[in-house]
Amino acid sequence: MTLDSSCSVGVLLVNIGTPDAPNKKDVRKYLSEFLSDPYVITLPYIFRWLLLLFIILPFRSAKSAAAYSKVWTKQGSPLLVNSLACADGLSNALCDKYKVVAAMRYGSYSINDGLRQLIGCKQIVVVPLYPQYADATTRSTIEKVKCEMSRLMFDAKVAFVPAFYSNNGFIKSYARLVEPAMNLSKDQFLLMSYHGLPVNQLPDGDCENCYRAHCYGTSKLLAGSLGLSQDQYSVSFQSRLGASKWIEPYTVDRIAVLYKKGIRKLVVACPSFVADCLETLEEMGISLKKQWLDLGGESFTLVPCLNADSNWVLALSEIIYKNEVADEDCVGNI
C-alpha cells in the first residue's frame, strides 16, 4: 500500500496477537508462533521445541480454542476488533500528517504487514501496547520491528514509545473506567490483576525498574487517583503457564484470601492490558467470576479495558506527540 503524500509520520500500534479463528487448527498455529519466541519461553531452542511439540501444543490448543470460542464476536477476535477501533480513533485524533496502523506481534496483521502500509514515511513511532515493560512483550516487539524494517530496507527514523505504566493520561483514563464500578456500593473491593511472568525472567537482586515493579507502580498510582486506601485494593497476577514459579500472588489464590477476609463484592481491573482479549474476557470475566461466586461472593464486576475509550485515545495521542522523532534524532529505544 502506498502512503498518502500528505502523511509524513507513521504510527504502528503493536499488540500481542490472536488466532484467526477459535478452532484448534488456528489456535495451534498461533500458539506455535507465540511460544516459539525465545523472549517468551527462555529455554534453549531444543528444549523449547520439545516442550512445544510434545506437551504444550497437543494439550493446550484444544483448551485455548474452547476458551476463545466463548468470547469470539461476530466481527472476530475481541483483541483485534478493539485494537482496530483504537487505531481508527487515534487516526481521527491525530493531525493529517500521521498515518496509524494496528499490528500484532504474532499471527495475522503482522508487523511486516503493518510496516508495508507505512512505506514512504520519514518517521515511524512504534507503540508497544504493553503498559509495563517486559522482555517477553516490549523487547520482543522492538526486536521484531527492527528485524522487519531491515528486511524491508525501510529507511526511516524510528522512535519506540517506552513503557507508559506511570503515564498520567494512562492512569487517569483507567481510573475513569474503574470509578463507576467502585461507586456501586461503599464496600466494593478492587483487585488489580496483571498478566503473570516467570520469576526467572525478572532481574536478579532488587527489582526497582522491572515488570513487577511497574505493575505495583501502576497499582499505587491508580489507587491514588481513585482515592483508595491500602485496605480497599489488592494486586495479583494471572495467566500462568507450566510448572515453573511465576510472580505471586496468583489471582486464583488471591480471591480465596480476600473472601476469608470478609470481602464479598469484588471489582476486577486488568491494567496490564489496554484492549479486552481472552485473558480479560474469559479468564477473568467468565472463569474467575465463577470461582468467586462459587466461593460465596455476592458480586463480581469486571472493568473493561481502555479499548477505544475517548480519554485513552487522547492520552495515547499525547504520548505519540511526545515521542515523535525530531529530524536530527536517530533511532529511538527503550
Unique residue bearing C-alpha cell 480454542: 65
Handedness of CA 150, 151, 156, 160 (dihedral sign): negative
pLDDT tens-digit readout, 287-297? 999 999 999 99
Q: Strand, coil or helix: what is 257?
A: helix
pLDDT tens-digit readout, 226-256? 999 999 999 999 999 888 899 999 999 999 9
Cα→Cα distances 132→66, 98, 194, 230, 316, Å: 29, 25, 10, 21, 15
Q: Is the pTM of this model over 0.85?
A: yes
Q: Are 214 and 165 in contact (CB under 8 A)?
A: yes
Q: Strand, coil or helix: what is 228?
A: coil
Integer Cα distance of 243 and 199 in angstroms: 12
Integer Cα distance of 90 and 147 in angstroms: 26
What is the per-residue pLDDT for 6?
A: 54
- Count other C-beta atoms under 10 Å from residue 137's C-beta: 26
Domains of the chain as residue ranges with CATH:
9-164+310-323 (3.40.50.1400), 168-302 (3.40.50.1400)
How many alpha carbons fall within 13 Å on the CB side of residue 110? 13
pLDDT tens-digit readout, 17-75? 999 999 999 999 999 999 999 999 999 999 999 999 999 999 999 999 999 999 999 99
pLDDT tens-digit readout, 275-315? 999 999 999 999 999 999 999 999 999 999 999 999 999 99
What is the per-residue pLDDT for 3?
A: 45
**Taking 70 as the threshold, does the pLDDT of residue 333 lie above it?**
no
Q: Are 173 and 236 in contact (CB under 8 A)?
A: no
